[in-house]
Amino acid sequence: MTIDSAVHTPAPADDHFLPGPVLLLGAPGVGKGTQAQLLMAKFGIPQISTGDILRENIAKGTELGKAAKSLMDQGQLVPDELVNNMVGKRLAAPDVHAGYILDGFPRTTVQATWLDAHLGDSGETAPLIAVNIRVDEKELLRRITGRRICPTCKRIYNIYSNPPQKDGFCDVEGSQLQHRSDDTEEAFARRMKEYDSQTAPVIEHYRLSGRFREIDGAVPVDQVADSIITALKELRGQFPKGTFNPQAGL
Ligand code: AP5
Ligand code: MG
């Protein structure tokens, strides 16, 4: 398994506020990756995207990548045990101490239970806070089919809402942009089905924890970012560093 390139280079933190461990929740295409990249740049904490780590393993031809490839292409979830192990290794890296942004994990109640039991393993003392991004399903399909990704820097574009300056090429790297192999109408329908049956209960799990906010993702990217940052500041004010209880997983 490979996790190396998911380890980020720290950026300067913003106005002394550190969000700590954060979960970004939401259906396929709501903007979790887009927002996680902005938060990572603003606060200097890493994004941990299980989808990105799995795609990296596919690109490198690892055993994990081989096990995940056809499931991902069809829009099905990768088995919990494989994903939990992968996240466990990533959370053991030294760059997560000041916090991290989990994007696309947990996605099943088994994964959520696993995470609750392992919080604190990496030494964090701030409780996890969760933000759920909501967007209408019709808009999601348009976002998914219009998405393009830079294979080098992983920047996320959209041919409708955020096109590159030069058609088909990354503004920063100049690399040819790629279309994800699961960004088809068919795979999207399957991903939404998995989301409704497996991930919706996870959202309820975090809603019930009280360390949770829901925000509107159907507005421009910078407005979504403002809402997330406001939510994180409010939640962290209520659940500051030092109030985490590893025994209770809270
Ligand atoms: P993953 O990569 O996590 O995909 P996903 O959850 O389906 O979410 P996406 O990455 O598609 O969407 P996003 O919310 O990140 O949106 P983005 O910011 O890119 O998982 C892929 C697969 O891996 C899964 O199906 C599964 O097989 C496997 N997997 C991953 N994690 C797993 C787990 N925990 N357990 C088991 N299996 C797992 O934005 C989308 C588009 O919209 C972009 O083009 C963007 O430019 C545009 N956009 C973003 N925000 C806006 C806005 N405000 N206005 C207009 N356009 C916008
Ligand atoms: Mg994503």
Give the integer Cα–Cα distance in Å for 106 and 90: 14
Nearby residues for ligand 2 (ion, Cβ within 5 Å)? 33
Beta-carbon neighbour count of residue 250 at 10 Å? 16
Active-site annotation holds for 148: no
Active-site annotation holds for 241: no
Backbone φ and ψ for 21, nearest 5 degrees, come out as -70, 125
**Catalytic hit among 90, 143, 147, 155:** 147
Q: At what angle do helices 80-91 and 109-118 cross, to 10 degrees?
A: 30
| Residue 50 Cβ < 6 Å to ligand 1 | yes
Backbone φ and ψ for 95, nearest 5 degrees, come out as -80, 5
| Residue 83 Cβ < 6 Å to ligand 1 | yes
Each residue's pLDDT tens digit, 168-187: 999 999 999 999 999 999 99
At 16 the pLDDT is 79
**Mean pLDDT confidence for 28-37:** 97
| Residue 112 Cβ < 6 Å to ligand 1 | no
**Mean pLDDT confidence for 54-80:** 97
CA of 27 to the centre of ligand 2 (A): 10
Q: Which residues pair with 213 in a beta bridge?
A: 131
Residue 230 has pLDDT above 90, yes or no: yes
Which ligand does the CA of 56 lie closest to? 1
String of b and e for 185-218 (b: at least 16 CB within 10 Å)?
eebbebbbebbeebbeebbebbeebebbbbbebe
Each residue's pLDDT tens digit, 108-122: 999 999 998 888 776
Which ligand does the CA of 55 lie closest to? 1
Report all structural domains of the chain as residue ranges with CATH numbers, in order of start: 19-133+186-235 (3.40.50.300)
pLDDT more than 90, % of the chain: 80
Active-site annotation holds for 236: no
Q: Which residues pair with 130 in a beta bridge?
A: 23, 212
CA of 20 to the centre of ligand 1 (A): 22
| Residue 224 Cβ < 6 Å to ligand 1 | yes
| Residue 211 Cβ < 6 Å to ligand 1 | no
CA of 154 to the centre of ligand 2 (A): 10
At 10 the pLDDT is 45
Residue 105 has pLDDT above 60, yes or no: yes
**Catalytic hit among 42, 180, 207, 241:** 180
What radius of gyration, in Å, describes the C-alpha atoms of the chain?
17
The ligand 1 atom nearest the CA atom of 107? 34
Best CA proximity match to 188, nearest among 241, 234, 145, 124: 145
Residue 1 has pLDDT above 60, yes or no: no
Read off the pLDDT band of 250 (50, 70, 90): low
Residue 166 has pLDDT above 90, yes or no: yes
Residue 12 has pLDDT above 60, yes or no: no
At 119 the pLDDT is 83
CA of 115 to the centre of ligand 1 (A): 20
Pair 100, 22: CB distance under 8 Å = yes
